[in-house]
């Protein structure tokens, strides 16, 4: 099974990659494996077909959290622009992106 072999190769390669990229790479490899076995999904916002089905949790501001079963690349980029934090997950694997907006509150360190 070619896709499983690619996933295992990605796991092996990831040992030498820095943690943030490693998590992203593993998540996408896992999503690709799922696509090959179960097919893709549809974007929760625009209904576009999506290859890599990843749950999206977007934190817009304190207390405002939006969750989507799946988003297309374009809608995901829009959420990243509007959110302070976006978490993609598939099973136990997850990747966190910090949004493009400046933090609403200054860091207190």
Site residues (vs Zn ion, CB under 5 A) = 43, 45-46, 48, 72, 75
Our CB check for Zn ion shows the closer of 20 and 39 to be 39
The minimum distance between CB 26 and Zn ion, in angstroms, equals: 24
Our CB check for Zn ion shows the closer of 46 and 65 to be 46
Give the Cα separation of 79 and 66 in Å (integer).
9
Total count of residues recorded for the chain: 109
Q: Of 12, 74, 19, 17, which is closest to residue 43 (Cα–Cα)?
A: 74
The minimum distance between CB 27 and Zn ion, in angstroms, equals: 19
Our CB check for Zn ion shows the closer of 26 and 28 to be 28
């Amino acid at each position: 099974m070619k896709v499983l072999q690619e996933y295992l190769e990605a796991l092996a390669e990831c040992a030498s990659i820095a943690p943030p990229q490693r998590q992203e790479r593993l998540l996408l490899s896992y999503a690709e494996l799922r696509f090959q076995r179960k097919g893709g999904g549809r974007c929760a916002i625009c209904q576009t077909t999506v290859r890599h089905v990843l749950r999206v949790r977007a934190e817009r501001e304190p207390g405002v959290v939006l969750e989507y079963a799946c988003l297309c690349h374009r809608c995901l980029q829009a959420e990243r622009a509007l959110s302070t934090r976006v978490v993609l997950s598939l099973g136990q694997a997850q990747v966190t992106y910090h949004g493009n907006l400046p933090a609403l509150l200054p860091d207190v360190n």
